[in-house]
Structure 1
Amino acid sequence: MTDVDICSAKGCQQPATWELLWNNPKLHTPDRRKTWLACDDHKQSLSDFLGARQFLKDVVPH
């Protein structure tokens, strides 16, 4: 059995194909990056959520 990384969107069980790298400047040092995983279907909505809060730093393939 192979471990597959799953999308971070609530209720989603799809394999992750993207990494959304983010940082909350009120909690984290500027160089710290936290990671949410996203499938193709949730890449935009998760990016929008983090972007609206000015947390999103980068989106890279997983």
Structure 2
Amino acid sequence: MPICSAKGCRAAAVWVLAWNNPKIHTPERRKTWLACEDHREHLSKFLGVRGFLKDVVAFEEWEAPGDSGG
């Protein structure tokens, strides 16, 4: 079971926050954090104020770049 990326949280992840740091990653690169319902907004804001957040997708709908879908 995927777990939320928030420090100390052990709740099930239901969101994928796709991000990259433009100073060190190529534009197409996507790193991911996982978030439970309670931490989605906090983690999104943390990434957003830095200009890192690219997308927020429900975990069950997430396909990492390059995934074949199966």
TM range (shorter): over 0.9
Q: Does 1:35 align with 2:32?
A: yes
Q: What TM-score results when the alignment is normalised by the length of structure 2?
A: 0.84
- Following superposition, the deviation at residue 54 of structure 1 comes to 0.3
Could you say which residue in structure 2 is the equivalent of 1:51? 48
Q: Matched residues in 2 for 1:10 and 1:31: separation?
A: 27
Q: State the identity %.
A: 68
RMSD of aligned Cα (Å): 0.2
Q: Which has the higher contact order (CA 8 A, sep 6+)?
A: 1
Structure 2 runs not aligned, ≥5 long: 60-70
Counterpart AA for 1:6: I
Deviation string, structure 1 residues 29-59 (Cα, Å, up to 9, x no partner)? 0000000000000000000000000000000
Structure 1 runs not aligned, ≥5 long: none
Q: Matched residues in 2 for 1:6 and 1:27: separation?
A: 26
- Deviation beyond 4 Å, 4+ runs, structure 1: none
